[in-house]
Chain A
């Protein structure tokens, strides 16, 4: 069966520090991968999606970036965090345009 792992679960970072969140999927090949952000009490906003290795599409201009170095690995990064980057980050996978399955999420607090 397929599983998705996302870490860390919680992160507290100072403003201006770098960020790296990792997501890996097991049990499937060539998944579509997604990064979403959820502000407190709100729905999810798509940040990045990827349909293959090295293929990244960005939905929201910001100081975040994403990379897909391996088929089942998706990384969200920032060189310098802003206060506004605080939120709940969720990684998801799907096969083609089918149901998306989410990781457990990372709560990021930028102080």
Chain B
């Protein structure tokens, strides 16, 4: 079964510092996609970044970057220069066989001023 593991239930980071949120996954698919979403307290799931398994370079989107290590089956999210508005739940997800997303249990990030 495909599984996404996020081992950090909660993380704290000082404003303006960088933080890494961990994600590992199980898969036997030769090709797959990995996603990170942000869920603020309002509940909406906001897409942050995508990494394809055959992409040669790690994905970046503004302050977000993905540290993709295929052999280790890890896809960690790095947020640089944390802001107070980054406080939220963060979910790692993998595309399933039906095009759906298989989510991890999430990491709650708290940014301290």
The answer for the CA separation of A97 and B98 in the assembled complex, in Å, is: 8
The answer for the CA separation of A26 and B38 in the assembled complex, in Å, is: 23
Which residue in chain B gives the minimum CB-CB distance to A32? Answer: B99
Interface size class on chain B is 20 to 34
Q: Report whether A46 and B47 are in contact in the complex, using a CB–CB cutoff of 8 Å.
A: no
Interface string of B33-47 (1 = CB under 8 A from A): 101010000111111
Q: Report whether A101 and B105 are in contact in the complex, using a CB–CB cutoff of 8 Å.
A: no
User: Does A3 sit at the interface, judged by CB under 8 A?
Assistant: no
The answer for the CA separation of A96 and B93 in the assembled complex, in Å, is: 17
> Given known contacts A101-B47, A102-B45, is B100 in contact with A43 (CB within 8 Å)?
no
User: Does B50 sit at the interface, judged by CB under 8 A?
Assistant: yes
Question: Across the interface, which residues of B come within 8 angstroms of A42, CB to CB?
Answer: 105-106
Which residue in chain B gives the minimum CB-CB distance to A6? Answer: B44
The answer for the CA separation of A44 and B47 in the assembled complex, in Å, is: 14
> Given known contacts A90-B45, A105-B44, is B99 in contact with A43 (CB within 8 Å)?
no
Question: Across the interface, which residues of A come within 8 angstroms of B37, CB to CB?
Answer: 102
12 contacts between A and B (CB under 8 A): A32-B99, A36-B101, A41-B106, A44-B101, A57-B98, A97-B33, A101-B47, A102-B37, A102-B44, A102-B45, A102-B46, A104-B43
* Partner of A94 from B93, B99, B103, B106 at Cβ < 8 Å: B99
Q: Report whether B50 and A99 are in contact in the complex, using a CB–CB cutoff of 8 Å.
A: yes
Q: Report whether B101 and A105 are in contact in the complex, using a CB–CB cutoff of 8 Å.
A: no
User: Does A7 sit at the interface, judged by CB under 8 A?
Assistant: no
Tally of chain A residues near chain B (CB < 8 A): 26
Interface string of B65-102 (1 = CB under 8 A from A): 00000000000000000000000000101011011111
User: Does A52 sit at the interface, judged by CB under 8 A?
Assistant: no
Kindly name the residue among B37, B44, B99, B106 whose own CB sees the greatest number of chain A CB atoms within 10 A. B99
> Given known contacts A101-B47, A102-B44, A105-B43, is B105 in contact with A34 (CB within 8 Å)?
no
Which residue in chain B gives the minimum CB-CB distance to A95? Answer: B99
> Given known contacts A34-B100, A49-B100, is B43 in contact with A43 (CB within 8 Å)?
no
